[in-house]
């Protein structure tokens, strides 16, 4: 009996120590349970569970109208999609003049888009230049961890002339605190960790999708990436407006979500092909 009691006490002590050790672990863990509950605002935008987040999910609180100005001569039209679009009729978008597409591949380190293959390969098969994007949840795991998860689930790159570098979607948190509980300096470090990991694996600098308000609030309007990473700016208005982070120009502009997320590449087709080729 004494031996059994001693064993039970030892097990209890071990569990307590394990719990203490877990509590003292890094504030950005290497694994996530993905037990997120979307906020009321996120639910209004169709985000019902962890994994449902998509590019610009809050942007349509302003307007979904197309730009009032005509597209510049040097531009290419495109779209971005996620699981919300399901199986996409790519031929119809090609006929409508869309020549590139970005497809959500992953979120955090717990979700992969179940429609990714149809969307990623389908856009390629009709002739579009396509790429994958990752919806970041910086409170879940490190930037390196999520970059590797993205790379392992469709976020890679090859110099085939038809594949754009993987993009990092870093924006409002649909599951809680706007800045994911990170300070501005910690957020910049997280983004750098993701970007450096992705570049080490592919040789490419990830385009960063964001908007002026979030970037200003959550990174302190950091200028750390404006000379290396292409800017994909979200602004549903007649022009991209003031750019975040001291970027001298935008590479892609997401300007509407009607009837689907609409994007415009800032350059002609030869420049888009150059971005694909690296």
193 catalytic? Reply is no
Compute the CA torsion angle 141, 142, 145, 149 (nearest 10 deg). Answer: 60
Rounded to a whole number of angstroms, the CA Rg of the chain reads 21
213 catalytic? Reply is no
- Please name the residues in contact with 185: beta carbons below 8 A apart, sequence gap of 6 or more: 220
CA distance 278 to 274: 6
160 catalytic? Reply is no
Give the active site residue among 169, 193, 261, 263: 169
- Angle of CA points 86, 91, 95, to nearest 5°: 125
Give the active site residue among 52, 107, 140, 171: 171
CA distance 26 to 101: 36
CA distance 35 to 38: 10
Q: Cite the active site residues.
A: 80, 169, 171
């Amino acid at each position: 009996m004494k031996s059994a009691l001693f064993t039970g006490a030892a097990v209890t002590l071990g569990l307590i120590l394990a719990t203490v050790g877990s509590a003292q672990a890094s504030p950005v863990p290497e694994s996530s349970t993905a037990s997120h509950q979307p906020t009321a605002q996120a639910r209004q935008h169709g985000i019902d569970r962890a994994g449902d987040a998509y590019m610009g999910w809050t942007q349509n609180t302003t307007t979904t109208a197309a730009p009032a100005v005509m597209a510049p001569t040097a531009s290419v039209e495109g779209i971005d999609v996620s699981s919300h679009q399901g199986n996409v009729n790519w031929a119809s978008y090609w006929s409508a003049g869309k020549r590139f597409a970005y497809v959500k591949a992953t979120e955090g380190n717990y979700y992969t888009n179940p429609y990714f293959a149809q969307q990623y390969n389908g856009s390629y098969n009709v002739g579009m230049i396509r790429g994958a994007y990752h919806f970041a949840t910086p409170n879940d795991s490190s930037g390196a961890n999520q970059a590797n998860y993205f790379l392992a689930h469709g976020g890679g790159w090859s110099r085939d002339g038809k594949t754009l570098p993987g993009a990092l979607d870093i924006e409002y948190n649909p599951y809680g605190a706007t800045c994911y509980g990170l300070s501005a300096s910690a957020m910049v470090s997280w983004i750098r960790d993701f970007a450096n990991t992705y570049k080490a694996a592919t040789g490419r600098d990830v385009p960063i999708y964001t908007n002026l308000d979030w970037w200003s609030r959550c990174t302190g309007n950091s200028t750390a990436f404006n000379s290396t990473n292409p800017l994909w700016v979200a602004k549903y208005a007649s022009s991209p407006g003031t750019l975040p982070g001291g970027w001298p120009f935008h590479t892609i502009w997401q300007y509407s979500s009607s009837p689907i997320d609409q994007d415009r590449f800032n350059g002609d087709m030869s420049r888009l092909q150059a971005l694909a080729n690296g």
